[in-house]
């Protein structure tokens, strides 16, 4: 992206300057990039991650008002404590980005029971835990915005990103997004999801050999992987007022992959 267009898009989400955002899994990858993008628009961002040092490094790199807290999305009690700390410090949480996630690859029988339990615990129960902890304060303020990170794998039960079990948890994220949008819309809270295709992050790196990368790009009409900046721009748009009448949607950022 040209610097000029970045400047313009950040001018357009001026309303984010007043907002407080909590991002899960923000120590690296997509979560870190979304946190930085929101902070770039003046948002006060709290980076949370099971990797406390990574989250602290991310917040230091972002600078300004960005802060970091250790938070394991599987740990319901710990999330309650973290959310209370954020509310004590900032008074409210306007934006919740449910980004923390884990991946499983390979055929159906290559995911053992422990790995399946971990997929469910992080990708699904993690969102349950964070929404249950944060939504009451959003309801009290009559305003809020939740953005979940799903995946194109939700549409086909796995495939390019992750296997059937991973895709199944991400399909659950799509259902959570629709159901919460229906229940929370009347309380002033919008809920949407972003479905990336393949992004070159630590999660995918071990699987992205040159030949795999080439094969994936060949299947994508726009001919490249999803960039983190594609996701940051959409997250900022969904989190801000320019998308005020959009809720319950899962938006694929896949260069047309799902059309093929
Ligand atoms: N990379 C891709 O190709 C891709 C594609 C589609 C969807 N996604 C989704 O995007 C999200 C981010 O993925 P990424 O590629 O940046 O992955 P990543 O592995 O680079 O980063 C994930 C982050 O989540 C954190 N995390 C893991 N378990 C946690 C837990 N229990 N509690 C709190 N934090 C935890 C990790 O420490 C890490 O910082 C995930 O939900 C993933 O499923 C990724």
Residue 13 lies in a domain: yes
Residue 156 lies in a domain: yes
Q: Is 198 within 8 Å of 225 (Cβ atoms)?
A: yes
Q: What is the pTM of this model?
A: 0.96
Residue 124 lies in a domain: yes
Q: Is 131 within 8 Å of 65 (Cβ atoms)?
A: no
Number of domains in the chain: 1
Our answer on whether the CB atom of 122 is closer than 6 Å to any ligand 1 atom is yes
Write the burial class of residue 211 (CB in 10 Å: 0-12 exposed, 13-18 middle, 19+ buried): exposed
Residue 217 lies in a domain: no
Residue 258 lies in a domain: no
Our answer on whether the CB atom of 206 is closer than 6 Å to any ligand 1 atom is no
Q: Which of 166, 184, 192, 228 is catalytic?
A: 166
Tell me the CA–centroid distance for residue 122 and ligand 1, in Å: 9
Active site residue 128: no
Measured between alpha carbons, how far is residue 8 from residues 4, 226, 231, 242 in Å? 6, 22, 17, 14
Tell me the CA–centroid distance for residue 25 and ligand 1, in Å: 6
Strands of the sheet with 67-70, listed across from one edge: 67-70, 44-49, 20-23, 95-98, 144-149, 189-196, 250-253
| Residues paired with 3 in a beta bridge | none
Q: Going residue by residue through the chain, which has 260 residues, state the pLDDT in tens, using 9 for 90 and above.
A: 334 444 455 556 788 998 999 999 999 999 999 999 999 999 999 999 999 999 999 999 999 999 999 999 999 999 999 999 999 999 999 999 999 999 999 999 999 999 999 999 999 999 999 999 999 999 999 999 999 999 999 999 998 778 999 999 999 999 999 999 999 999 999 999 999 999 999 999 999 999 999 999 999 999 999 999 999 999 999 999 999 999 999 999 999 999 99
Among 195, 201, 207, 220, the mutation site with the greatest number of ligand 1 atoms within 8 A of its Cβ is: 201
Our answer on whether the CB atom of 98 is closer than 6 Å to any ligand 1 atom is no
Tell me the CA–centroid distance for residue 186 and ligand 1, in Å: 30
Residue 256 lies in a domain: no
Instruction: Look up the domain containing 196 and give its range.
Output: 3-200+227-246
Task: Identify the H or E element spanning 181.
Answer: helix 164-184
Cα–Cα distance measured from residue 160 to residue 214, given in angstroms and rounded to the nearest whole number: 12
Residue range 8-39, pLDDT digits in tens: 555 567 889 989 999 999 999 999 999 999 99
Our answer on whether the CB atom of 75 is closer than 6 Å to any ligand 1 atom is no
Tell me the CA–centroid distance for residue 232 and ligand 1, in Å: 14
For 249, which DSSP code?
-
Our answer on whether the CB atom of 70 is closer than 6 Å to any ligand 1 atom is no
Residue 211 lies in a domain: no
Pairing of strands 20-23, 95-98: parallel
pLDDT recorded at residue 12: 65
CATH of the domain at 20: 3.40.50.720
Residue 41 lies in a domain: yes
């Amino acid at each position: 992206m040209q610097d000029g267009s970045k400047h313009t898009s950040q001018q357009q989400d001026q309303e984010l300057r007043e907002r407080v955002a909590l991002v899960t899994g923000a120590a690296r990858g997509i979560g870190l990039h979304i946190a930085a993008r929101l902070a770039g628009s003046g948002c006060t961002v709290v980076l949370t991650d099971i990797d406390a040092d990574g989250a602290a490094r991310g917040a230091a790199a972002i600078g300004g008002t960005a802060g970091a807290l250790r938070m394991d999305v599987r740990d319901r009690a710990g999330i309650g404590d973290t959310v209370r700390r954020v509310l004590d410090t900032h008074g409210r949480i306007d934006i919740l980005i449910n980004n923390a996630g884990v991946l499983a690859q390979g055929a159906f029988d290559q995911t053992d029971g422990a790995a399946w339990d971990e997929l469910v615990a992080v990708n699904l129960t993690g969102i349950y835990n964070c929404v249950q902890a944060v939504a009451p304060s959003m309801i009290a303020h009559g305003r809020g915005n939740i953005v979940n990170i799903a995946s194109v794998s939700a549409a086909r039960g796995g495939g390019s990103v992750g296997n059937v079990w991973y895709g199944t948890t991400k399909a659950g994220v799509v259902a959570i997004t629709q159901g919460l949008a229906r229940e929370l819309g009347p309380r002033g809270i919008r809920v949407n999801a972003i479905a990336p295709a393949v992004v070159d992050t630590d999660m995918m790196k071990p699987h992205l050999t040159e030949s795999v990368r080439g094969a994936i790009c060949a299947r994508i009409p726009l001919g490249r992987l999803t960039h983190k900046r594609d996701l940051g721009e959409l997250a900022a748009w969904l989190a801000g007022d320019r998308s005020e009448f959009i809720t319950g949607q899962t938006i694929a950022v896949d260069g047309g992959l799902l059309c093929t």
